[in-house]
Structure 1
Amino acid sequence: MGVKNLWDILESCKKTLPLHHLQNKKLCVDLSCWLVQFATANRSPACVKDKVYLKSLFHRLRALIALNCSVIFVTDGSIPSIKLATYRRRLGLQVERVNESTKPLPPVPSLRRNKGSEFSCMMKEAKMLGMALGIPSLDGIEEAEAQCAVLNSASLCDGCFTSDSDIFLFGARTVYRDIILADSGYVVCYEMADIERKLGFGRNSLISLSLLLGSDYSNGVHGFGTETACRFVKSVGDDSVLNQMALEGVAAIRKKRNKDRTEKDRFTEHTENDICVKKPTNEEHGLVGSESQFTEVIDAFLNPKCHSPDSEAVQRACTDLPFLRSELQQLCEMFFGWSPEKTDEYILPKIAERDLRRFRNLTHTSSALGVDTVPVTCPVSAILKPRKVHGEEYYDVSWRNMEGLKVSSVPADLVQSACSEKIAEFLSKKDEEKHNKQKRKPKPAKQTNKAAINEVDKQFKELLITIKDGARNPLTDISNNSRENYVKDILEPDFFDLCTPSPPPRASKVAKSRKPIAQSVHLIEIIDSESDVSPGAC
């Protein structure tokens, strides 16, 4: 939960950033917040049985791995004693109250969590899955968000994933509240620098708001809503607000609030119920007075129980772990019923993309230092073809030394920045293939027979000479009888096949504007001389 209505107060500082904003970053994840989010989104009874929450975690981690994000799982430790009442109220347990006249109870230590609960088993499965993917885990002493804030303030991580708004009160500087993995993926980000610049609230001011509005550690003060609390904190100032509230307690709050009241309300007698403080119970300790409880809450936020940045546990969690392919295949088969091939299909392209991003970072760092050669070879073997994925430009590439993966799609801008020479090689090869395809093969030269050409040329010349000398027409030498037989042979066929029926006449389409022309054969009689002409012809 965190601080009541704090996310609404920080709404103007919310930023929606594209998913690639997370590339090459080191991130701490409040694991319990993610699992609660997945379980809440899938409330069906099959959620736990079918491991839906674990599948959602797996796919979210795939996206972060492809962006070369170094992730650290941070889990909750014991429940702080100051939070016991809130914890039991969430579980629906009745909190026993003690009479105010009794003496203060001795301090109660933190309460260890039930390691055998259903949620604890979900956490164990998530940590096993993360370990196979090369993601380390850090078990916090108490609050996981407090441990994330310590790592972030010490610059051991670039940001924290959590939905608990009180992480700012523990000292976090960059918080990612949510992540969406749709086509246009994005993250919801809050920066402490924006909160200080836009709202004027520092860490002390946010702790003061938690005292007035209520949080996991206190119930707040009666009569203070969001606007009233913000005005009060701004009027006092970030530097002195905690000291004033710790020293003066309710008196300072009443004095400031009375200035904004009407004349009638100003002289109204105040009761002792103006502040809704936690009553001490068998599990809680502290004085009944509001000043002492303010001090206890302030100390819980300013000095949380966490692993120090230089501790062995933190150093071990900040060490990169190897990707365990066989262990991941076994876990996915046990949890989801996937075959090893299906698991490889999901995770290996993301691992290859991460390796390409690391190669790009190495080459850029080497060039910045003036080093020309890189001791690592490019993981991309060749570019096969371009494609579009969700409207974005991608390349299908073949990989080198990637067991179980031959081809996958990679963003074009990543290939351009990591290995531009591969793109130049691909384009050159493509142009060469296009040129070879357009180039036609030359037709083979026809072999000519010079002797035949010479013979034809010779005959043609002889024919011309014969015509020039006035050679007679062969038809004039034919006698009349021979002439008739000659014409008859031309016009009449040698025989007719009466056994074979004639083919059916074909209907021919004739244009309307054209009329069929009757065809007739005129026989022209050829005579030898003028003496054969009949007298009637003259």
Structure 2
Amino acid sequence: MGVGGKFWDLLKPYARAEGFDFLRDKRVAVDLSFWIIQHQTAIKEHARKPHLRLIFFRTINLFSKFGVYPVFVVDGTPSPLKSQTRISRFSRFSGIVLKDFLVVEESVPVERNREFSRHVQECVELVELLGMPVLYAKGEAEALCAQLNSEGYVDACITSDSDAFLFGAKSIIKNFCSNGKEAFECYNMEDIEAGLGLKRKHLIAISLLVGNDYDLTGVQGIGLDTALRFVRCFSEEDVLNRLREIGNGKVSSAPTSIKSAENCADVDRNFPSRKQLHCSFCGHPGSKRDHMKSSCEFCMTSDDDEGCLRKPKGFTCGCPSCDMIRKQKGQRRMENWYAKVCLKIAEDLKFHRDEIIELYLCNDNGGYPASDGPCISWSRPKIEMLIDFLKFHQNWDPSYVRRQIFPMMSTIFLRDMANTPVESLVFGTFEFGSIQRVKIRYGYQFYVVKWKHAVGNISCTVPSQESSMQQGDGSELDEFVDVLDDPSVSDTGDGCSFLLTDENMDLVRAAFPEKVESFWQEQELKGSKTRKSCTPRSLEKESPSSLNTRSTQLSITKFYRSVKTQNHSKQQVASDGSDNLDSGKRTMCSPNLTKSARRRLLFE
């Protein structure tokens, strides 16, 4: 949930739309529970164990297609405050009165739903078999994600809980779509500070007023706009201390940003404390009797006998006296508003302060030593164990699992070759063959790589990355697709099978620079041959017959006459018996015109 009061709508104008390649080679903390809930809501009744199915495909896409190093974070034991909030939320949506049931004590946490906990454990086992690191939070997963981000262990967080900013996150990706067609909705704390002027403690103060995961209601009568206006009156270092004081009943005076009327009146001693006399006719300083005799300095006209001008509708005097009075009234309204907000906070007896603030400012959400840091490392997928796991839970065929896991294996292979070149094979059987062509997908260029298998034709066990990428999250996948129907898997006829995958161009260049250089040399050679092959045709165009063709093409009506011209010719033939029309037909069918030329003339 996060901060209440449509908090995401407040941050929406400062979101960035990042492209397909934004997360490449970056570490990203993923709130695993958020993914599980999101996927169950999407295809709960359309797939077997959707939490495993979609975590599997999304992890592969995140790692291979987007080039991300994901770090999965799992929720720990919720705090007692969070347990009470979950009970209140259940009561609100179910209509059950809590007084009729046993209410859990505030010091005792409530364990999560057993079924959901079992789903989380299955997903943890799955991502560990895929070689992804998993970290366990003490409490909320978004709290550990934010701590990893603030301490520099990851570059961004993937979560929909807005209170991750309150825990210290610097960059949050709220809407993540693995199909690659839609941009990422990325929120940076720097943009929020520059746009709204709010920092981390300001956001914590807003959550205390409008509600959060530990207090659903907040302060009665205070909305998001009022809370935003109120916290802006204080600096980041002072805002939480002032809220503590106000909550304890110590309603202090207005902050320095709200100047009192007395201080404003003392700015210039020359200004009178009372409003000057103004003319009721023109509205300017002075009496109406004086202005009847001659025009005032504000209404000075060419003819003094005309007197002052009548003030228009909605007139506002801009003299220093009136301006000072308006400022004093505005400051008094501001002080009265501030006092009413403080009174509402002081009257709220359930206003949580220190407990929630300590939870948000805590820097020990993972339980790892500050000196050593978290244990984050990526390893190779355990293929055979993964096949057995998915065979048991999803009833998937081993060839189908190998087909879907190949994009991850090829990405790992290219990364290993880029860092420490060694003689290795993908799946122990496929080797890097050559670069076939350059392909554009989602507006970005990829190399289409040919992977060769020279130990017999077993291409039916592994597919191409292209076919896997088109399947997205797996929501539209068919579990029983025949691999032999995959157009990217082919047999050369000599017992050597191969397949084609889409790979990142920079990664392929780092892993096999000589292959990339050879590919571009071949492309340049093909281009030169194409230009040479076009030379005789160009000379042929300059032949006399082509010159005649060019000259005849300019007079289109001579060959493709309009109906009016044809009717005129028929009348002429009928009158003089000449053979002009027949000659025109012979000219139109002249062999000097090529087929393409006649087609262009026809449609012009």
**TM-score, normalization by structure 1:** 0.65
Matched with 1:385 is 436
How far apart in 1 are the matches of 2:19 and 2:137?
30
Q: Cα offset for 1:39?
A: 1.7
Pick one of 333, 351, 358 that aligns with 2:391.
Answer: 333
Q: Cα offset for 1:36?
A: 1.1
How far apart in 2 are the matches of 1:354 and 1:408?
16
Matched, 1:419 2:489: no
Matched with 1:20 is 21
Matched, 1:274 2:344: yes
Matched residue type, 1:242: L
The 1:312–1:223 alpha-carbon spacing in structure 2 relative to 1, beyond 3 Å, is same
How far apart in 1 are the matches of 2:364 and 2:403?
42
How far apart in 2 are the matches of 1:241 and 1:165?
20
Secondary structure, aligned partner of 1:112 = coil
How far apart in 2 are the matches of 1:215 and 1:73?
24
1:379-419 Cα offsets, whole Å, 9 max, x none, are 77332521535465433323489995753322463334543
Secondary structure, aligned partner of 1:315 = coil
Gaps of 5+ in 2: 261-329, 426-430, 455-460, 464-497, 534-581, 583-604
Q: Cα offset for 1:208?
A: 0.4
The 1:209–1:359 alpha-carbon spacing in structure 2 relative to 1, beyond 3 Å, is farther
How far apart in 1 are the matches of 2:85 and 2:41?
20
Matched residue type, 1:408: L
How many corresponding residue pairs?
A: 407
Q: Cα offset for 1:123?
A: 0.9
The 1:221–1:358 alpha-carbon spacing in structure 2 relative to 1, beyond 3 Å, is farther
1:293-331 Cα offsets, whole Å, 9 max, x none, are 312221221126622442799634x13233111122222
How far apart in 2 are the matches of 1:246 and 1:438?
79
Matched with 2:112 is 113
Q: 1:388-467 to 2 correspondence within 5 Å?
A: 388=439, 390=441, 392-399=444-451, 406-411=498-503, 413-414=505-506, 415-416=508-509, 418-428=511-521
How far apart in 2 are the matches of 1:10 and 1:2?
13
1:350-386 Cα offsets, whole Å, 9 max, x none, are 32124324544x3xxxxxxxxxxx5546977332521
Matched with 2:142 is 145
Contact 2:34–2:159 (Cα < 8 Å) also in 1:
yes
Q: Cα offset for 1:120?
A: 1.5
Contact 1:74–1:148 (Cα < 8 Å) also in 2:
yes
How far apart in 1 are the matches of 2:371 and 2:107?
28
The 1:358–1:175 alpha-carbon spacing in structure 2 relative to 1, beyond 3 Å, is farther
Matched with 2:356 is 297
Matched with 2:187 is 190
The 1:359–1:14 alpha-carbon spacing in structure 2 relative to 1, beyond 3 Å, is farther
Contact 2:251–2:342 (Cα < 8 Å) also in 1:
no
Q: Cα offset for 1:145?
A: 1.1
Q: Cα offset for 1:202?
A: 1.0
Larger deviation: 8-17 or 325-334?
325-334
Q: Cα offset for 1:28?
A: 1.4
Matched residue type, 2:512: C
Q: 1:243-282 to 2 correspondence within 5 Å?
A: 243-249=241-247, 266=336, 274-275=344-345
Q: 1:144-223 to 2 correspondence within 5 Å?
A: 144-218=141-215, 219-223=217-221
Matched residue type, 1:196: E
Pair member with larger Rg: 1
How far apart in 1 are the matches of 2:192 and 2:532?
66
Secondary structure, aligned partner of 1:91 = helix
Q: Cα offset for 1:209?
A: 0.3
1:486-521 Cα offsets, whole Å, 9 max, x none, are xxxxxxxxxxxxxxxxxxxxxxxxxx9xxxxxxxxx
How far apart in 1 are the matches of 2:234 and 2:334?
25
Gaps of 5+ in 1: 99-104, 279-287, 363-373, 441-511, 513-538
Pick one of 55, 58, 61 that aligns with 1:60.
Answer: 58
Matched residue type, 1:423: V
How far apart in 2 are the matches of 1:299 and 1:153?
17
Contact 2:435–2:447 (Cα < 8 Å) also in 1:
yes
How far apart in 1 are the matches of 2:448 and 2:333?
75
The 1:305–1:255 alpha-carbon spacing in structure 2 relative to 1, beyond 3 Å, is same
Matched residue type, 1:274: K
Secondary structure, aligned partner of 2:232 = helix
How far apart in 1 are the matches of 2:22 and 2:416?
16
Contact 2:205–2:239 (Cα < 8 Å) also in 1:
yes
The 1:353–1:305 alpha-carbon spacing in structure 2 relative to 1, beyond 3 Å, is closer
Q: Cα offset for 1:164?
A: 0.7
Matched with 2:369 is 310
How far apart in 2 are the matches of 1:277 and 1:83?
23
How far apart in 1 are the matches of 2:8 and 2:500?
41
Matched residue type, 2:518: E
Contact 2:79–2:109 (Cα < 8 Å) also in 1:
yes
How far apart in 2 are the matches of 1:300 and 1:241?
17
Contact 1:204–1:238 (Cα < 8 Å) also in 2:
yes
Matched, 1:84 2:83: yes
**TM-score, normalization by structure 2:** 0.59
The 1:375–1:262 alpha-carbon spacing in structure 2 relative to 1, beyond 3 Å, is same
Matched with 1:9 is 10
How far apart in 2 are the matches of 1:78 and 1:151?
19
How far apart in 2 are the matches of 1:65 and 1:123?
20
Instruction: Report % sequence identity.
Output: 28
How far apart in 1 are the matches of 2:218 and 2:346?
6
Matched residue type, 1:77: G
How far apart in 1 are the matches of 2:521 and 2:336?
84
Larger deviation: 191-200 or 297-306?
297-306
Alignment root-mean-square deviation, CA: 4.2
The 1:94–1:355 alpha-carbon spacing in structure 2 relative to 1, beyond 3 Å, is farther
Q: Cα offset for 1:61?
A: 0.7
The 1:264–1:26 alpha-carbon spacing in structure 2 relative to 1, beyond 3 Å, is closer
How far apart in 2 are the matches of 1:358 and 1:189?
30
Q: Cα offset for 1:340?
A: 1.5
Q: 1:351-370 to 2 correspondence within 5 Å?
A: 351-357=409-415, 359-360=417-418, 362=419
Secondary structure, aligned partner of 1:326 = helix
Larger deviation: 143-152 or 162-171?
143-152
Matched residue type, 1:40: T
Contact 1:221–1:276 (Cα < 8 Å) also in 2:
no
Identify the structure with bigger relative contact order (alpha carbons < 8 Å, sequence gap 6+).
1
How far apart in 2 are the matches of 1:397 and 1:319?
28
The 1:271–1:325 alpha-carbon spacing in structure 2 relative to 1, beyond 3 Å, is closer
Larger deviation: 297-306 or 386-395?
386-395
The 1:208–1:392 alpha-carbon spacing in structure 2 relative to 1, beyond 3 Å, is closer
Contact 1:65–1:351 (Cα < 8 Å) also in 2:
no
The 1:404–1:39 alpha-carbon spacing in structure 2 relative to 1, beyond 3 Å, is closer
How far apart in 2 are the matches of 1:393 and 1:159?
25
The 1:253–1:65 alpha-carbon spacing in structure 2 relative to 1, beyond 3 Å, is farther
